[in-house]
Amino acid sequence: MFLTDLIFFDTDCISAFLWVNEENLLAQMYQGRIIIPKEVYDELSYPTISHLKIKLDVLISNKVARIECIDITSQEYVLYRKLTTRFVDNNKIIGKGEAAAISLAKKHCGILASNNLKDINTYISEFSLKHMITGDILVEAFENNLITEH
């Protein structure tokens, strides 16, 4: 991956680290490059998983990550709406967090961090997005001696 690219996380990928208390790996490897779309932040704000939001809030307050909103007058919003609603061309509808991460990664020529390949692979190809999954992040952490096999 490119060392300066912004990384746009969807809910599933950021949650993979928050659930197991390993968000420190993200902080060590991607300090200041982690972008959480507002739609992802909202998904993590559900009362049943408020403990994940608390961990994410710590990352945000420590400037490891930041929240980004999509301007409703922008082309990113047009793409976001296309990905989350049925249009004439019978596009595949995806979740709001995934759609926001895709729209913002496309806008900023950043990296999409998402595990849900079944739903997003078409869009990764269509928009020529750089992409990573949780496994890629763990391999990078291993290569940087931040984790071991044991």
Ranges of each domain in the chain: 7-143
Q: Is the dihedral of CA 132, 102, 26, 134 positive or negative?
A: negative
Enter the pTM of the model.
0.93
Q: What is the pLDDT of residues 93-108, one digit of tens each?
A: 899 999 999 999 999 9
Q: What is the mean pLDDT of residues 108-136?
A: 94
Q: Say yes or no to pLDDT of 77 above 90.
A: yes
Q: What is the mean pLDDT of residues 115-137?
A: 93
Query: For position 128, what pLDDT does the model report?
Result: 95
- Residues comprising the chain, all counted: 150
β-strands 7-9, 111-113: how paired? parallel
Query: For position 1, what pLDDT does the model report?
Result: 52
CATH class of segment(s) 7-143: alpha beta
What the block records as the tokens of 55 is 């961990």
Give the C-alpha separation, 138 to 148, whole Å.
10
Q: Say yes or no to pLDDT of 44 above 60.
A: yes
Query: For position 3, what pLDDT does the model report?
Result: 64
> Across the strands, what pairs with 35?
8, 66
Q: Say yes or no to pLDDT of 88 above 70.
A: no
DSSP assignment of 70-90? PPTTSHHHHHHHHHHS--TT-
Hey, how many other C-beta atoms are within 10 angstroms of the C-beta on 100?
32
